[in-house]
Amino acid sequence: MEYSIKPIAVVSNSRKMIKDDNWGNVISTVELTKDIHASSLKGIDDFSHLEIIFYFDKVVDEKIQYEARHPRNNKDYPEVGIFAQRGKNRPNKIGVTVVELLELKDRTLIVSGLDAIDGTPIIDIKPVMKEFLPKGELKQPSWATDLMKNYWD
């Protein structure tokens, strides 16, 4: 079974190359495509944060990971399955990030914290609601904390 998904928006920002760290100061605009009506964003500015679902369109098929690997190919980290990490070389090339909504301008969202490069196609936008956030304390392995130490700097 195959699915076809059309982008609903496109990212514009200063990041032109795929890079793993230093996303903290990146401000992005997410502009709706011509076939998506501006009214689809009505009321979105009542939310402080959004989930942005995007497509890693620059990842070549030969780089896709289907099995376990060391995160960032760093042998200091344990070998874990692709679904136990957030790497870009995923089977369906889908990324998800929670961003802060800074401003809504007609057909454009201005956000911070989006770790997608310039030109990335957006496939969905959802408001973050408290009721969908995890309940209780989050758990993660120490390698994940170490890996993320420079991600948002």
pTM above 0.85, yes or no: yes
Which residue type sits at 114?
L
Q: How confident is the model at residue 39 (pLDDT cuts 50, 70, 90)?
A: very high
pLDDT in tens, 81-118: 999 999 899 999 999 999 999 999 999 999 999 999 99
Q: How far is CA 95 from CA 8, 11, 43, 85, 116, in A?
A: 15, 13, 24, 11, 8
C-alpha span between 122 and 103 (Å, rounded): 17
DSSP state at residue 41: G
CB atoms within 10 A of CB 125: 22
Give residue 88's Cα distance to chain centre: 9
Q: How far is CA 36 from CA 6, 10, 44, 126, 148, in A?
A: 11, 12, 15, 15, 34
C-alpha span between 144 and 135 (Å, rounded): 20
C-alpha span between 8 and 27 (Å, rounded): 19
Which tokens is 130 given?
């408290």
